[in-house]
Structure 1
Amino acid sequence: MEMADLGDVRLHYRIDGDPDGAPVVFANSLGTDLRLWDKVLPLLPQGLKFIRYDKRGHGLSSMPKAPYAMGALVSDVEKLCDQLNIRDCVFVGLSIGGMIAQGLAVKRLDIVRALVLSNTGAKIGTKEMWQERIDAVNAGGIEPLADPVMERWFSKRFRETGELEAWRNMLVRQPAEGYAGCSAAIAGSDFYTPTSGLRLPALGIAGDQDGSTPPDLVRETIDLIPGARFHLIRGAGHLPCVENPEEYAEVLGGFLKEVGHV
């Protein structure tokens, strides 16, 4: 296990694949850790360097006092990339990870050469909605929210499998303060204007049964970037990399080849 000391936070990260390969950085969703990508990585093209990390307040990373600003989450991965000397990466962000991806691309085009925005938006929900969730988590923890979250995350078919329990457990075992802190970051973020100024290769991925970031939101966001393309994974919810890793890896791998990363 690797930990990067970034000053106000220590991030748990993991590097897989070819240590000398072209870098691909992954940022995961609210309430998950870097294991979100476990099924996809073995299916991607060989010769790449895969960097995953747990954002602040999640997984094995440290938990500064909440609430967090999106700028802090972007700075965290920016510092991690600088510390690991990551340049010209393809950055894959899912949900809040996709917002972090947009923020980093706007700030540091020397780090990000191409962007994958998965199950995310330039703006997700409303401040009022997120404040209600923050208040609920602060009052009673994550457990009372877990079943509704599973319905938004996964298709009915997947929810009938035994694997659902593992993802539910991952969610409820995240620190409540970290979950609430990152919820505050989402609540305060609107990337419509900054993302519309981006000029780089970009791919949007959505699940047609996503109850958190519906396909229309993902499409609207990715369409802000001229020349970007969009792919819909049918029969999958908010985490298509879990429900259909084969199709997810095929689409992501194709994009990596298209942009000359492989």
Structure 2
Amino acid sequence: MNRVFANGTVHAEQFGDGPPLFLLHSLLSDRASFDAIVPQLSQSFRLIVPELPGFGRSRAVGGGLAAVADRIAEAVKEAAGGEEAIVLGNGYGGFVALQMAIRHPAIATKLVLADCGAAFSEEGRQAFRNMAAASKAKGLPAITDVAMRRLFAPEFQAEHPDLMRDRREAFLKTDPEVFQAACAALAELDLRPELANVKVPVLVLVGEQDEATPPPMSRELAALLPDARLKIIAGCAHVPQLQSPEAFLDAIGDFLAAAYAAS
């Protein structure tokens, strides 16, 4: 079911019934990156899978990551309708979820932050600057190979040509200006001083082969959050829910089951 929230600015697909669970996609992908886990999760939750601002049919917003987080917070409040919500973010969606939890402390009762962090190393910051500059000078096709490498290890790409074709096509639909603005925001991001304000339980996940947001970022994030646990998903890179849906579902199962039982 297609739904529109936040005064018509955020488009989302909704599946199933139960407590609301929001799935926020990564920068180099789209909401279809959750398709493999929707069938199982929708048996226990009302899934709301938005297109982040500037992606798909959702209206872009100026003002950096904070403004994106505020827009999604508006959508979450409206879609949840007063029910307690869980927010799961992957990659860029994880940064949005974390920024949202900092700026809107009552927005969620639990967070799942998959393959993100609180701040990048200087090498990581420079990677975003380079991608933004190259996409501005030559267009998104010039950085598609780099983008796919940040999502999936080369071996996985070679073994799944159909999936990779689909992921390349999805990436090339991204608005270049939205992509460049997101890269600029991530290159400057440092949420570490504010993590103590996130009081809700957090499950921090990361693929052991993630090159975009390497495991040390997740270890730091879990260590600095007041109530967090860390799980590393073996054999996966930046989008484990696409690469190994069963492993991803297994990693989040107990955390979500506890929330479902309490609802």
TM over 0.5: yes
Q: Contact 1:27/1:94 (CA < 8 Å) preserved in 2?
A: yes
Aligned equivalent of 2:78: 83
Aligned equivalent of 1:13: 12
Question: What per-residue deviation string (whole Å, max 9, x for no partner) do you get for residues 216-258 of structure 1?
Answer: 1111112212341111111111000100000101221221113
* Count of residues in correspondence between the two structures: 256
Q: Tell me by how many angstroms 1:91 deviates.
A: 0.9
Q: Distance in 2 between matches of 1:57 and 1:164?
A: 23
Q: Distance in 2 between matches of 1:157 and 1:181?
A: 31
Q: Distance in 2 between matches of 1:97 and 1:236?
A: 18
Aligned equivalent of 2:49: 52
Unmatched tracts of structure 2, length 5 or more: none
Aligned equivalent of 1:25: 22
Cα RMSD for the two superposed structures: 2.0
Q: Tell me by how many angstroms 1:37 deviates.
A: 0.7
Unmatched tracts of structure 1, length 5 or more: none
Q: Contact 1:23/1:88 (CA < 8 Å) preserved in 2?
A: yes
- What TM-score, normalized by structure 1, do the two folds share? 0.90
Q: Contact 1:81/1:111 (CA < 8 Å) preserved in 2?
A: yes
Q: Distance in 2 between matches of 1:170 and 1:236?
A: 20
Q: Distance in 2 between matches of 1:26 and 1:224?
A: 23
Select the structure that is richer in helix.
2
Pair 1:241–1:179, CA change in 2 (3 A):
same
Q: Which amino acid aligns with 1:70?
A: L
Aligned equivalent of 1:122: 118
**Are positions 1:107 and 2:108 aligned together?**
no
Q: Tell me by how many angstroms 1:125 deviates.
A: 4.8
Q: Tell me by how many angstroms 1:45 deviates.
A: 6.7
- What TM-score, normalized by structure 2, do the two folds share? 0.90
Aligned equivalent of 2:5: 4
Aligned equivalent of 1:202: 202
Q: Contact 1:206/1:233 (CA < 8 Å) preserved in 2?
A: yes
**Are positions 1:247 and 2:247 aligned together?**
yes
- What percent of counterpart residues are identical? 26
Of 94, 98, 114, the match for 1:98: 94
Q: Contact 2:28/2:147 (CA < 8 Å) preserved in 1?
A: no
Q: Distance in 2 between matches of 1:33 and 1:227?
A: 29
